[in-house]
């Protein structure tokens, strides 16, 4: 008997790192649901990736409980269940704290952190039944900061903590891990209307001990391992994938 097709839900899967993850999962044999807010990006990516396997765009605001519940129900209806939840959706609000409104702060919290809680909550029954896994995308901003990134950094730190809390609560049936990407060039992974290759300099690459800026494929490769049977003893962990940048001491 042929092995049953596995199903992955990728939030924010319409562009950027999420699109790279969706493509890799399709190549790995998963059916993929793109739980994406941007309708243009979602439809475009569904069309672009269709030749690789079963892929379905479901418009979803991960900070809206009703939309999350509906997206998971639709996934169950179309695919029969969920084996993997990739909580990738996120927004960056970059403003001086004196200019950052409470509404902007709350929107970042809703998308970057509350969205993980909601998606995990509604996917958990299916994941538990199918002994699946959750993979959260945080950021090296959970560990280090630039100016004016309070909302983003706080939410990404929360993602790392929520990862180990979920791992303890949902195990052993569901494994939960986290990847913290560093500088990833997603310029060619945006929707067509915003796609423009970034002009990276020698200095951009050389400040990474690995010798280059990262690509979505780097994050997708780590994810592919973490959701595989070979990683069955790994849960509650955060993996920094940043070309060594957070380990490099900088003196001016």
Chain center to CA of 235: 17
**Strands 175-181 and 238-241, bridge-based pairing:** parallel
CA 25/CA 9 separation, integer angstroms: 10
In the set 152, 170, 174, 213, the catalytic residue is: 152
109: which strand partners?
Answer: none
Helix (H) or strand (E) segment spanning residue 65: helix 65-79
Helix (H) or strand (E) segment spanning residue 175: strand 175-181
Active site residue 152: yes
Sign of the torsion formed by the C-alpha atoms of 50, 55, 59 and 60 = negative
Tell me if residue 165 falls in helix, strand or coil. Answer: helix
List residues with catalytic annotation.
Answer: 152
């Amino acid at each position: 008997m042929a092995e049953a097709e596995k199903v992955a839900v990728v939030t924010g899967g319409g562009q950027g790192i999420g699109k790279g993850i969706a493509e890799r999962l399709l190549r790995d044999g998963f059916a993929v649901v793109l739980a994406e807010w941007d309708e243009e990006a979602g439809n475009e990516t569904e069309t672009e990736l269709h030749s690789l396997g079963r892929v379905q765009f479901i418009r979803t605001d991960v900070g809206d409980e009703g939309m999350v519940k509906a997206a998971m129900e639709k996934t169950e209806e179309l695919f029969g269940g969920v084996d993997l939840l990739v909580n990738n959706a996120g927004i960056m609000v970059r403003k001086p704290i004196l200019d950052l409104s409470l509404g902007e702060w709350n929107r970042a919290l809703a998308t970057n952190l509350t969205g993980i809680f909601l998606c995990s909550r509604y996917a958990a029954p299916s994941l538990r039944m199918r002994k699946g896994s959750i993979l959260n995308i945080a950021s090296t901003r959970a560990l280090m900061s630039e100016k004016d990134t309070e909302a983003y950094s706080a939410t990404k730190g929360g993602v790392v903590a929520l990862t180990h809390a979920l791992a303890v609560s949902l195990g052993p049936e569901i494994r939960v891990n986290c990847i913290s990407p560093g500088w990833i060039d997603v310029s060619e992974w945006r929707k067509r209307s915003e796609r423009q290759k970034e002009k990276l300099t020698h200095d951009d690459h050389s400040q990474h001990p690995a010798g280059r800026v990262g690509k979505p494929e780097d994050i997708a490769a780590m994810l592919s391992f973490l959701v595989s049977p070979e990683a069955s003893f790994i849960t509650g962990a955060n993996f920094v994938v940043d070309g060594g940048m957070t380990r490099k001491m900088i003196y001016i």
